[in-house]
């Protein structure tokens, strides 16, 4: 990641923003010390994908009623 001093960042801000949007984040430094990291908002964040495990396992047909007797016993007790 490249580091730009504050004066250069002010002078070339539009160009730097375009580069960040293209996937090239940068740091802004004051007196040689990094102060701010700049990256595009959507950059580096993975979105969650629905259905990414399709076909990786099997769900039993009675999934919704599995353990029903034990759960009812826990809630209602034995008669």
Domains, the chain, with CATH or none: 2-38 (3.40.1620.10)
pTM value? 0.51
36 within 8 A of 5, measured Cβ to Cβ: no
pLDDT tens track for 1-48: 899 999 999 999 999 999 999 989 999 999 999 999 999 887 556 677
Q: Compute the distance between CA of residue 69 and CA of residue 25 in angstroms, rounded to an integer.
A: 56
């Amino acid at each position: 990641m490249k580091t730009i001093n504050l004066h250069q960042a002010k002078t070339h801000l539009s160009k730097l923003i375009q580069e960040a949007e293209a996937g090239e984040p940068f740091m802004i430094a004051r007196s040689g010390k990094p102060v701010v990291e700049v990256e595009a908002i959507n950059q580096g964040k993975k979105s969650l994908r629905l259905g990414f495990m399709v076909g990786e396992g099997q769900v039993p047909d009675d999934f919704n009623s599995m353990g029903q007797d034990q759960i009812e016993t826990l809630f209602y007790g034995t008669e």
